[in-house]
Amino acid sequence: MVSQEDHRSGHVVVGVDTHKDIHVAAVMDPLVGIVGTLTIPTNTRGFAALETWAAAHGKIIAFGIEGTGSYGATLTSFLRRAGYKVVEAGRPDRRLRRMNGKSDTLDAENAARSVLAGLATATPKTADGQVEMIRLLKVAHDTAVTARTAAMITLKNVLVHAPDELRATTRRMTAATLARHLAALRPRGLDSVEDAQRHTLRSLARRWLALDTEAKDLNQQIGALVRSRAPQLLDRFGIGIDTAAEILIVAGDNPERIHSEAAFANRAGISPVPTGSGMTSGRHRINHGGHRQLNAAIYRTVIVRMRFHEPTLAYVQRRTAEGLSKREIIRCLKRYVIREVYHDIKHRPEAPEFAS
């Protein structure tokens, strides 16, 4: 009798469903199907155990990993350093999930099947260079800006109920001047509502000033990295530090993984989505997917160009005469901008060496 072992191809694909504390892996042979599953802890010892276990089943074609940018980031880095091909598996199809159910083992099996079928082809970001540094600093910067805005809104809400004298003194002050003025308050004690208001206003003002300093420091650090990594982006009209940072973050430290300008436009949610069928063939709709922060950054660049960039002003005038609406013109210009920056990020100047 011929056993299942005799039918194996000798090559395997490994699918991994990632979590915070454990990862679940499934090995699939192209001829036999799933031949084993394994649960490992999310540490170096667990990753080494996964590598040894998978290699024992045959020559590894690729690893399909869910969440290579989150819970699967450290495993992805480990396997890449070991020389294995890693593919972003993505989430399972919702229709199949409703039909077959949901479990960690099933998700790992689906990840392996998607890689073997060629449905999962995305190359993960390496996250090992200046762009990853920019991304991390931008996380801190954006949260600081959000907290700074919340602090000022709360401060002004409390100020509405302050005594007339204090409200009259602070009227028409800028945010920075208001914060510095209120941070210098010296409450007498804590015996009345007015005293509590002064304590609260001083606390909120000092918080705003601290967050403002933090945001400005982080912005300077991000700017230095962006200028070092892609100075050519900043030469483009209407593209500043924030927009350039968003562009680099989406592209990653290995922009060669984005194979075409159309693929980059799709990642930014700028490419149209076909919706034709039958007699309505050829119709398209707006892409509501993609990286929305990058989409918004490109939109801001287009608005700046439509106001101050002479070639863009001439283009808008010509397209308006052709009967296009402002919204349609903006969509066209967004595609022009994404095409420009795609070629800019593909050109990678030599990065300076950092002193250890």
Domain ranges of the chain: 10-116, 130-229, 232-276+283-346
Q: At what angle do helices 292-308 and 310-321 cross, to 10 degrees?
A: 90
pLDDT for 189: 84
The residues, ordered by sequence, that sit 6+ positions from 222 with a Cβ below 8 Å of its Cβ are 134, 137, 138, 141, 241, 245
pLDDT of residue 349: 56
d(CA 355, CA 329): 47
Burial class (CB in 10 A: 0-12, 13-18, 19+), 166: middle
Q: Does domain 10-116 have CATH number 2.40.40.20?
A: no
Q: Which helix (H) or strand (E) holds 14?
A: strand 11-18
Q: Are 209 and 179 in contact (CB under 8 A)?
A: yes
Half-sphere exposure of 183 (CA within 13 A, CB side): 15
Within the chain, which residues score under 70 in pLDDT?
1-7, 92-94, 96-97, 279, 281-282, 348-356
pLDDT, residue 351, reads: 47
10 Rama class: left (phi>0) / alpha (psi -120 to 50) / beta: left
Residue of 15, 105, 30 lying closest to 66 (CA atoms) = 15
3-state class (DSSP) for residue 329 = helix
* Residues 65/26, Cβ–Cβ less than 8 Å: no
Q: Which two tokens stand for residue 282?
A: 């050829």
Q: What is this structure's pTM?
A: 0.82
Partners of residue 273 on adjacent β-strands: 285
Report CA-CA distances (Å) from 290 to 31, 82, 257, 266: 36, 31, 16, 6
Report strand pairing: 59-65 vs 11-18: parallel
What is the distance between the terminal CA atoms of the chain, rounded to a whole angstrom? Answer: 63
Q: Are 125 and 252 in contact (CB under 8 A)?
A: yes
Angle at which helices 193-229 and 241-251 pack, to 10 degrees?
60
SS3 for 87? strand
Tell me the Ramachandran region of residue 6: left when phi exceeds 0, alpha when psi lies from -120 to 50, beta otherwise.
alpha
